[in-house]
Amino acid sequence: MPEATEPTGGATATPVALKLTAKDFKSDQEVRWCPGCGDYAILAAVQSFLPELNIPRERIVFISGIGCSSRFPYYMNTYGLHSIHGRAPAIATGLAVSRPDLSIWVVTGDGDALSIGGNHLIHALRRNVNLKILLFNNRIYGLTKGQYSPTSELGKITKSTPLGSADSPFNPLSLALGAEATFVARTIDSDRRHLQSVLRAAAEHQGSAFVEIYQNCNIFNDGAFDALKEPETRDDYLIRLEHGQPIVFGSQGQFCVVRPPGGFGLAVRQTADVPAEEIVVHDATVEEPAYAFALSRLPGFALRNTPIGIFRNVTRPTYDRLVQEQVESARAKATGTPEEQLAELLHSGDTWTIL
Amino acid sequence: MSKQVRQLDRVVIRFAGDSGDGMQLTGDRFTSETAQLGNDISTLPNFPAEIRAPAGTLPGVSSFQVHFADYDILTPGDAPNVLVAMNPAALKANLADLPRGADIIVNTDEFTKRNLTKVGYQASPLDDGSLDGYTLHPVALTSMTVRALAEHDISKKDAERAKNMFALGLLSWMYSRPYESTIRFLERKFATRPALAAANIAAFKAGWNFGETTEDFAVRYEVKPAKMPPGTYRNITGNAALSLGIVAAGVRSGLPVFLGAYPITPASDILHELSKHKRFGVTTMQAEDEIAAIGAALGASYGGALGVTTTSGPGVALKGETISLAVALELPLVIVDVQRAGPSTGMPTKTEQADLNMALFGRHGEAPVAVIAPRSPADCFYAALEAARIALTHRTPVILLSDNYVANGSEPWLLPEIDSLPDLRVDFATTPNSEDGKTFLPYLRDPETLARPWAIPGTPGLEHRIGGLEKAGKTGDISYDPANHDFMVRTRAARIEAIKVPDVEVDDPDSDARVLVLGWGSTYGPIGAACRGLRQRGLSVAQAHLRHLAPLPANLGEVLARYQRVVIPEMNLGQLAHVIRARYLVDAISYNQVRGLPFTAHELETMLEEVVKNA
């Protein structure tokens, strides 16, 4: 049976340096994503980042649903479970609650997490289960060959929407924040340094960590995030959030984020027009989710003003911990062997004896 | 005044009233008192799905039937000897079930013009002679209760609500029931409101004393204890027994139990019960939906727990895809389906053997699972243990088909010795299993059970990946190889067939029967009672009852072949009959009823008599 372990809240480093390398996390399976897929970059980033957690491979589990991204576990030399469409957060919740000694990562996509699995995603987030949820968002259905997804833009022309999609998309981060997520971040497949910095923070977080990764599908939605990657545009379009730093961006630092008077949210202004003290200083630990929500609403037309980094990072008791504590405290009060307790339980209530 | 005491061998009482009248509680208490006395008991609660249907209406009638006897009985009884009707609706809804001569106790306070009109009585049946064939006891239950509680410091409404305890007191006197347990129960129930406890106890005693003093009840009855095997007993419902069986499976396997469940009638009580037993390492999770409930249970199984999910038919439909995943993953999982009348929402509080087809066939792909069914409330305990045994030993999903009849009905349960329960300990894989001892092959099978190793996360050196894509035998790598898929599909079928289940036993006391009655699940009681009835009249009939529906017992074909005719009564349109006909080419007679109620022994006896006489 599994050892009764201290509820440690997941990602537990061992005291001894394990000296693992990226190679240790590569499985013997041939990677079968399309050549040029953004998933390769994410896989390599994850494999080369995991050794720094100093967690033994056997205590790491990757759980996925269905879709291109969900093949991820097969390529990781850890424990892995490739499950069914949309259900990975539910399956991972059961594992996390019963095995607090494990570091559990959910790999999902925009269709898997936000369409068929939307319910499980929001409930995992509100419960704050100790899971690291990596949502590869390519704004298209890849594995079924090119239908629009819940993050595809309105009017998107795809195989299933030849006249343009009539669906308004989800903003995944707004959704996660509305679902009471305690850790919400966004990063990009092609920026390994940034991606790994976000993964590091997610791993350290106690509770659900929701990470949206912009990922390019070079077959069905190529270039969806080019404006955030091309040297000519990226610095003017991307807002790199740094905790404790004023939110200033643009190739010349020419833009900044302010709280316009009278409004509810945040807005982008020319830095030159704004007194320095009015520029918002980023604080991911603000309890009030409205701030992170306002950040999530900043992106405008054609990916302008897209924040990346950690939007929100707050502390709240985790579901698995609370559940474990109830079980542990009940066990601590119990006396006698399990068999004796069972006999007592069966004989409880009104009994009578026939001689 | 000393009253005449008459001995009876059996009595059936039905308590009926409005949903808010507390009839289930009243019935429950009467049953507990009766159990204390050592009678054999069987109960049948029958209530609407609405929590508080409009007061005084026919759809709002809730009833509780209890059958007790000085011998072993099999059913809650076909027809009540006594009806307690708390209002005109309760009288009207139940009168047709009463044989002439039955006692009817009515609460006259509720027989107002308004209440009579509500259920379509033009004139009061208490006055118009329509009840002349019965023994009518008009009792002003409400006003007598209120008067008895005049000195108590409670509201008029609370005083009126205690009328069910007055009725219970009266019936307890009438049938000479011991009442100490009811007094203790009321003290516990109202522990934080002593005034209410005192008032309810006073109402109970007033009812008792009324019986003793009024001349309307001239006779008091006794039913002697039944001759039952020695030991300690408790009265138990199927849902409670099933819950305890799951706790016991955790203890006997040494594994933590994880229950994922979404509230659904009539299965929710299992979630309620198991959530009380955390000290046994039982974790319960009320999930966001049926799919998450089974998903979480499967995730827990993957991590080395005994994963369980409990639901009813609509929930099993939603869980189908995950059950199929569990078939592919080859992990232990127990799925409890407390069946109710369908399709769709159907009749959530009414019983039906609705889901055998779904349990056997209701998944995409060739996705065989083990299926078992309990035959009575207490048997739910052993069925849960058996489901866990199969799931853990054979690493497979097991569907346990309970139903509303056994789930909410109750009977005395001879409490087992813990040591007599099956040993369910399992071995997790700890080392590589390839021939050279270097690699781990997650789909290398045990030659006998064909089960694959259970290698749980956290085990060093056994890191591996599993999933819903077809696996290569042994390595578990993704495989699209045609021959491999053919092999794996056949192997998954063979895995279920390899489960050892006991032979089906045949009850054929005279060994000369030409007709076999074959049943499964909750019809055991009514079929057994019908067979008894026939035998008492000198007719021979054999009874066999299936606990295992997949795989079927190895001797079943041979048993079927021994009889001239095979009759299969089911509370569906012949789901087992279909399987038996297809598999054994037996021209079985399918006898069906889907009224949301269990068979009566009488109707089965009548039907079987025809078959036996013509065989």
Segments in B53-152 forming alpha helices (H): 88-94, 113-118, 141-148
Query: What are the chain A neighbours of B292 within 8 Å (beta carbons)?
Result: 87, 90, 93, 119-120, 123
Q: For residue B440, is pLDDT > 70?
A: yes
Question: For residues B600 and B594, what is the distance between their CA atoms, to the nearest angstrom?
Answer: 12
Instruction: Tell me the average pLDDT across B244-248.
Output: 98
Instruction: Tell me the average pLDDT across B451-457.
Output: 98
Amino acid code (one letter) for A135: L
**Are B233 and A84 an interchain contact pair (Cβ–Cβ within 8 Å)?**
no
A286 touches A295 (CB < 8 A): no
Amino acid code (one letter) for A83: S
Burial grade of B225 (CB within 10 A; 0-12, 13-18, 19 or more): middle
B169 touches B205 (CB < 8 A): yes
Burial grade of B448 (CB within 10 A; 0-12, 13-18, 19 or more): exposed
- Is A31 in CB contact (< 8 Å) with chain B? no
Extract the tokens encoding A271. 């830095």
* pLDDT range class, residue A11, cuts 50, 70, 90: low
A243 touches A291 (CB < 8 A): no
B128-181 tens-digit pLDDT: 999 999 999 999 999 999 999 999 999 999 999 999 999 999 999 999 999 999
Task: Give the distance from residue A82's alpha carbon to the nearest chain B alpha carbon, in angstroms.
Answer: 4
Task: Give the distance from residue B291's alpha carbon to the nearest chain A alpha carbon, in angstroms.
Answer: 8
- Cα atoms found within 13 Å of the Cα of residue B184, Cβ hemisphere only: 8
* pLDDT range class, residue B50, cuts 50, 70, 90: confident
Q: How far is CA A19 from CA A76, A201, B351, in A?
A: 17, 21, 61
A81 touches A61 (CB < 8 A): yes
Q: For position A10, what pLDDT does the model report?
A: 55
Report the alpha-carbon angle A118-A122-A127, nearest 5: 150
pTM of the model: 0.95
Kindly state the percentage of chain B with pLDDT values over 70: 100
Instruction: Tell me the average pLDDT across B360-389.
Output: 98
Q: For residue A271, is pLDDT > 50?
A: yes
Q: For residue A6, is pLDDT > 60?
A: no
Residues 53-72 of A with CB under 8 A from B: 56-59, 61, 63, 66
* pLDDT range class, residue A350, cuts 50, 70, 90: confident
Q: For position A12, what pLDDT does the model report?
A: 66
Question: For residues B542 and A221, what is the distance between their CA atoms, to the nearest angstrom?
Answer: 69
Q: How far is CA B256 from CA A97, B213, B248, B297, in A?
A: 11, 57, 11, 12
Closest Cα partner for B400 from B521, B562, B496? B521
Q: Residues 6 or more apart from B41 whose CB is under 8 A from it?
A: B31, B34, B35, B66, B67, B68, B73, B235, B410, B411, B412
Instruction: Tell me the average pLDDT across B279-285.
Output: 98
Question: For residues A213 and A224, what is the distance between their CA atoms, to the nearest angstrom?
Answer: 13
SS3 breakdown of chain A: % helix, strand, coil, rounded to 5? 35, 20, 45
Reported ipTM: the value is 0.96
Kindly state the percentage of chain A with pLDDT values over 70: 97
B55-75 tens-digit pLDDT: 899 999 999 999 999 999 999
Beta bridge partners of A111: none
**Are B303 and A99 an interchain contact pair (Cβ–Cβ within 8 Å)?**
yes
Query: What are the chain A neighbours of B295 within 8 Å (beta carbons)?
Result: 83, 87, 90-91, 93-94, 120
Q: For residue A195, is pLDDT > 90?
A: yes
Q: For residue B368, is pLDDT > 90?
A: yes
- Is B32 in CB contact (< 8 Å) with chain A? yes
A76 touches A27 (CB < 8 A): yes
Closest Cα partner for A247 from A292, A287, A198, A195? A292
Q: For residue A4, is pLDDT > 50?
A: no
Q: For position B198, what pLDDT does the model report?
A: 96
Closest Cα partner for B586 from B559, B612, B546? B559
Question: For residues B547 and B527, what is the distance between their CA atoms, to the nearest angstrom?
Answer: 14
A46 touches A213 (CB < 8 A): no
Instruction: Tell me the average pLDDT across B212-237.
Output: 93
Q: For position B36, what pLDDT does the model report?
A: 87
Extract the tokens encoding B52. 């508080």
Q: Using alpha carbons only, how large is chain B's radius of gyration in Å?
A: 27
Closest Cα partner for A69 from A32, A117, A24? A32
Q: For position A178, what pLDDT does the model report?
A: 98
Q: How many CB pairs under 8 A join A and B?
A: 209
Question: For residues A240 and A257, what is the distance between their CA atoms, to the nearest angstrom?
Answer: 12
A163: left (phi over 0), alpha (psi -120 to 50) or beta: alpha
Beta bridge partners of B520: B546
> How many other β-carbons are positioned within 10 Å of the β-carbon of residue A18?
14
**Are A79 and B307 an interchain contact pair (Cβ–Cβ within 8 Å)?**
no
For B429, nearest residue in chain A (alpha carbons): A1
Q: For position A1, what pLDDT does the model report?
A: 40
- Is B577 in CB contact (< 8 Å) with chain A? no
> How many other β-carbons are positioned within 10 Å of the β-carbon of residue B278?
20
A123 touches B288 (CB < 8 A): yes
For A31, nearest residue in chain B (alpha carbons): B478
B427 touches B459 (CB < 8 A): no
Q: Is the dihedral of CA B412, B417, B421, B425 positive or negative?
A: positive
Instruction: Tell me the average pLDDT across A67-71.
Output: 97
Element (H, E) at B231: strand B231-237
Question: For residues B23 and B602, what is the distance between their CA atoms, to the nearest angstrom?
Answer: 26
- Is B322 in CB contact (< 8 Å) with chain A? yes
| Strands A351-354, B231-237: pairing kind | antiparallel
For B423, nearest residue in chain A (alpha carbons): A339
Q: For residue A251, is pLDDT > 70?
A: yes
- Is A76 in CB contact (< 8 Å) with chain B? yes
Averaged confidence pLDDT in chain A: 95
Question: For residues A322 and A306, what is the distance between their CA atoms, to the nearest angstrom?
Answer: 36
